[in-house]
Amino acid sequence: MKKMNMFLLTGIFVVILTISGNVGAATVFEDDFSSGLTNWTTGTNSIKNPGGATVGVASGRVNYYQQYDFIETKASYSGDFEIQFEVERTTGSVGCMDFIVEFVTEPEHSGILRLRYGTTDKYQINIGQAPTLTTSDYGNCVDDPELYHLQEMATSGIPYIGVATLSCKDDSVKFSFEHATLGKIETPWVDTGDIGSTTIRIWAMGSDDQGAATRFVDNVRVEAPIESGGLLIDASGALKIGEGGGTPLFVLGNIACTGSLFEGSSRSLKSNISAVGPVEALSALSALEAVQFTYKADPTGERHLGFIAEDVPGLVATRSRKNLRSMDIIAILTSVVQQQQKEIELLKQAIQ
């Protein structure tokens, strides 16, 4: 949930964004599979399963009936993002992994998860190679000796359930697993290079005999920078509005801030630069009529000082004549004061 707080400063606006939950990310995709696999494609390793994938949705969650099936997002993601999903294993044989989550453009840095396993009685995670689609390369086991990021969590008699998360940030990935009562384990960040724009696969090892499903996935969520219509919430939590021109933010109400406000004023941002002449500046200043007023939308009736946008001279008017820019008023005041100062200096010299 996002909460946007807005307050007023004359002619200048700022927005403070607070994101409840995971600060610095926005949920851009959620699926509880109540509509089946409409947001996903499915597939399998064709050597292991020449008959194709059998993965599907039953009882409101993804059921994996055979080994090396996967679901894959139809949408692609890039930059800093993470995918999180609930996992469960019921019965069935325990192999060297239960689930693998893969960024398809970076299969050698996939998250590998084995739920509580045999005599080791541990949850285990690692980062390694995902299975291929058309060869007998079925990917890494969670405890393969060539992998360096094995993390373990001891358990005993606890159900095989939890939440898995694969994160991508600054060209690195990290994999984690969290159990509701036992806590959380996570790998270190591992460098990958730029993974570009990628879909995401979730593999699972179903029953050897292709019988009843034994591995399940539910409640998938992707969190990432979100951009829509010129609105961007980046991975640091910063809010950016607009793509240039127009009025990307309109607020009916008050805006304030506790820090400084900065208005873009670099020469590199401007064209058609010319001086404001003292005559036109004085003419505009003389035409300004200062008034007192209250805002209709303010139930407190607090009085303000200012100008009426429809009545100001053209030099400081906006196209809509509904708003004013305080810097425009400051500019003509500066020009007039500078000219008056010059005249004062001339008068001083004449008197002397």
Give the domains, in start order, of the chain with CATH numbers. Answer: 26-224 (2.60.120.200), 274-351 (no CATH)
Can you point out the beta strands (E) in 24-80? 26-31, 40-44, 56-58, 61-64, 67-73
C-alpha–C-alpha distance, residues 112 and 146, integer Å? 14
C-alpha–C-alpha distance, residues 21 and 39, integer Å? 25
H or E, element range at 286: helix 278-287
The separation between CA 87 and the C-alpha centre of its own chain, rounded to angstroms, equals 24
Query: Would you write out the chain's pLDDT as a tens digit for each of its 352 residues?
Result: 333 333 333 333 333 333 333 334 578 889 999 999 999 999 999 999 999 999 999 999 999 999 999 999 999 998 889 999 999 998 755 678 899 999 999 999 999 999 877 666 789 999 999 999 999 989 999 999 999 999 999 887 778 899 999 999 989 999 999 998 889 999 999 999 999 999 999 999 887 655 677 899 999 999 876 455 555 555 455 566 655 555 656 666 677 778 887 788 888 888 999 999 999 999 999 999 999 999 888 888 899 999 999 999 999 988 888 888 889 999 999 999 999 999 999 999 999 8
C-alpha–C-alpha distance, residues 64 and 87, integer Å? 11
Q: Any idea what DSSP says for residue 267?
A: G
Q: Any idea what DSSP says for residue 331?
A: H
- What are 198-244's pLDDT values in tens digits? 999 999 988 765 567 789 999 999 987 645 555 555 545 556 665 55
- What are 160-201's pLDDT values in tens digits? 899 999 999 989 999 999 998 889 999 999 999 999 999 999
With a pLDDT cut of 90, the percent of the chain lying above it is: 57
In DSSP notation, 104-167 reads TT-GGGEEEEE-S-GGG-EEEEEEEPPPPSSSS-----TT-TT----EEEE-SS--SEEEEEEE
Query: Tokens 């801030």 correspond to what residue?
Result: 257
From 151, 127, 152, select the one nearest 139 (Cα to Cα): 127
C-alpha–C-alpha distance, residues 29 and 75, integer Å? 9
Distances (CA, A) of 124 to 4, 93, 98, 100, 159: 40, 16, 10, 12, 14
Helix 278-287 × helix 326-351 angle, to 10°: 120
Asked if 213 and 57 touch (Cβ cutoff 8 Å), the reply is no
Q: What is the pTM of this model?
A: 0.60
